[in-house]
Amino acid sequence: MTLDPLFDFSGKVALVTGGSRGLGYRMVRAFAERGADVIIASRKLANCEKVAEECRSLGRKAMPFGMHAGRWVECDALVEAAYGEFGRVDILVNNAGMGPASPSHEVSEGLFDAVLNLNFKGPFRLASQIAQRMSEGGGGCIINVSSSGALMPLPGVVPYSSAKAALNAMTVSLAAEYAPNVRVNTISPGPFLTDIAEAWDPEQREVQPNALGRAGRPEEIVTAALMLASPASGYTTGALVRVDGGLR
């Protein structure tokens, strides 16, 4: 691949949670294909190892790490392992998340806590700990992967939508707190044809209520991530980039 200098990540280290599948996998591949060494974090270590092998075949260093991104002790272990192996993290993508559907009056406290932990509590811990290290080092970029559900009504997944709204607020606050050395931004995806879409009915996979009339293809998340992570976007922080086909 001939690298555009605006998107050359040679010598950079990118850490992606939920990086073994779906949109996270696409972002891991995109960074590795453009020169970055990568850390793939997910609950299933075997899946992380498979992606790491793909990235090593591109000539990159790759570290798989099995962890639950909603638990602070495991977030801290990931940070220590990443810095122990590479000495720094230049790009953090908080991508791990889940949004199980349930009528709000049937949501248990355990489910509520699990959703908030994975979508907000864990990302806060990773972002804050890595932002502090980035700020004291050579700087860096953090990308929080949110959801269109934080911006518009999404019945049946209220804890998920609320957690993602908190993630959006966190982005703005951390961007101010750790500036100027650290940039923090949000990607807000709409419906994408990842493995989650396998549970959709056939019509949902074909048609969506957005301007483009369809769900996104997983590879269509890549350009937003590359743009926000690029040093050429040095004047972009605290921003939210919608990648949702023009949901309305």
Enzyme catalytic residues: 160
Q: DSSP for 153-184?
A: --TT-HHHHHHHHHHHHHHHHHHHHSTTTEEE
Nearest residue to 164 (alpha-carbon basis) of 148, 185, 152, 150: 150
- Pairwise CA distance, residues 188 & 228, whole Å: 12
Q: How does DSSP classify residue 215? A: P
Q: Which two tokens stand for residue 71?
A: 């638990």
Q: Which residues are within 8 A (CB) of 11 and not within 5 positions of it... i.e. 6 or more apart?
A: 35
CB-based contact 65:79 (threshold 8 Å):
no
Q: Which residues are within 8 A (CB) of 161 and not within 5 positions of it... i.e. 6 or more apart?
A: 99, 147, 149, 150, 154
